[in-house]
Amino acid sequence: MRDGFGREIDYMRLSVTDQCNLRCRYCMPGGGASLPDHDQVLDDGEIIRLCGIFVSLGIHKIKITGGEPLVRNGVVELVERLKKMPGLKSVTMTTNGLLLADSLDRFIKMGLDGVNIHLDTLDRETYRTLTGMDGLSRAMDGLSRVAAGGIPVKVNCVPIRGVNDGDLAMMADLARDRIQAVRFIELMPIGQGSREEGIPIAEVKRNIVEAYGPLMPWPGTLGNGPASYCQVDGFRGKIGFIQAVSHGFCEACNRVRLTADGYLKLCLDWDLGIDLKAMLRTGASDSEITEAALHALEKKPGRHGFNSTGAADRNSRDMHRIGG
């Protein structure tokens, strides 16, 4: 399916919960998040029905997100149902890794296509300061186990001024021989993220070059996203960069988002979309939902507004309620 700008949309980020077992300062409010009641969140049957509709429209890749997806009861069974859905070519997951070891054997058996582990530091105290929890050892255990289990692993790191500035070269070193890629993502001014100062990718690159030598452009792709990749001499894995703020890539956007409360969100930075949960629960047919989704997709914005202020319809959700 295509949006109003002719972009092919074949990838959906599916948030299964707003809840998380961490309290990352650029993601959740400091006093904790106001979470929706259980009946406001899509149940498994509703998720499968909507995913089936979108697969029939041309969505071939789904990434399970949250919050932290592994805190949702029954999420392993839900992922297994998606893996068996005809026409769906790739099911991957983004997680903080803390609960990954508990479900890893089942993910390996069902053939989960990839895992992204969000990890911003390898320093225990920085991790505690950033996330509100002393959980680095559990996150690293999850990372090590999934990598050993044969599922492709990427690490996502958000560089933040005054927080993990000194950890970036150490993070890049994870790609030396353990994982598929370490990706540095520019901090987006969304929700709590607007209160922090991100570090531009150009500065991150200089930091890595100083530590390990030249970054050699690598022309391949790894996964569904807009990252550009480089190779470092002596590294088995790649170093990736997602320059959402300094160098927009909206002209090639291929995705939509389905939030845990059933909102089809057309762009990370805008509130534009449609409430599909309301349609489900008022008896809409699959054809009616299909028509409404396609009509909404025509209004997908041409680009984000990270560098604008005061614009109408800007995103009003914190990151944990979007799915990243």
Each residue's pLDDT, cut to its tens digit, for the chain (324 residues) gives 999 999 999 999 999 999 999 998 888 776 555 666 778 999 999 999 999 999 999 999 999 999 999 999 999 999 999 999 999 999 999 999 999 999 999 999 999 999 999 999 999 999 999 999 999 999 999 999 999 999 999 999 999 999 999 999 999 999 999 799 999 999 988 777 778 899 999 999 999 999 999 999 999 888 887 899 999 999 999 999 998 777 777 888 999 999 999 999 999 888 889 999 999 999 999 999 999 999 999 999 887 766 655 555 656 666 667 766
Does residue 6 lie within any of the structural domains? no
- Reference 120, options 178, 199, 203; nearest CA is 199
**300 three-state secondary structure:** coil
Does residue 5 lie within any of the structural domains? no
Does residue 2 lie within any of the structural domains? no
What pLDDT score was predicted for residue 31?
59
The residue segments making up the domain with residue 291 are 11-321
β-strand partners of 8 = 2
- Report how far residue 119's alpha carbon sits from residue 125's, in angstroms, rounded to the nearest whole number: 13
What pLDDT score was predicted for residue 155?
97
- Report how far residue 123's alpha carbon sits from residue 288's, in angstroms, rounded to the nearest whole number: 51
- Report how far residue 119's alpha carbon sits from residue 239's, in angstroms, rounded to the nearest whole number: 14
- Report how far residue 299's alpha carbon sits from residue 117's, in angstroms, rounded to the nearest whole number: 32
Distances from the Cα of 11 to the Cαs of 27, 51, 207, 246, in angstroms? 23, 11, 32, 23
What pLDDT score was predicted for residue 165?
92
Does residue 310 lie within any of the structural domains? yes
pLDDT tens readout for residues 238-252: 999 998 777 777 888
pLDDT tens readout for residues 196-222: 899 999 999 999 999 999 999 999 888
Does residue 4 lie within any of the structural domains? no
Q: Report the amino acid identity of residue 297.
A: L
**How many structural domains comprise the chain?**
1
Cα 128 from chain centroid (whole Å): 21
- Report how far residue 19's alpha carbon sits from residue 130's, in angstroms, rounded to the nearest whole number: 17
- Report how far residue 119's alpha carbon sits from residue 182's, in angstroms, rounded to the nearest whole number: 10
pLDDT tens readout for residues 133-170: 999 999 999 999 999 999 999 999 999 999 999 999 99
Does residue 84 lie within any of the structural domains? yes
**244 three-state secondary structure:** coil
Q: What is the domain-level CATH number for residue 148?
A: 3.20.20.70
Q: How far apart are the first and last CA of the chain?
A: 22
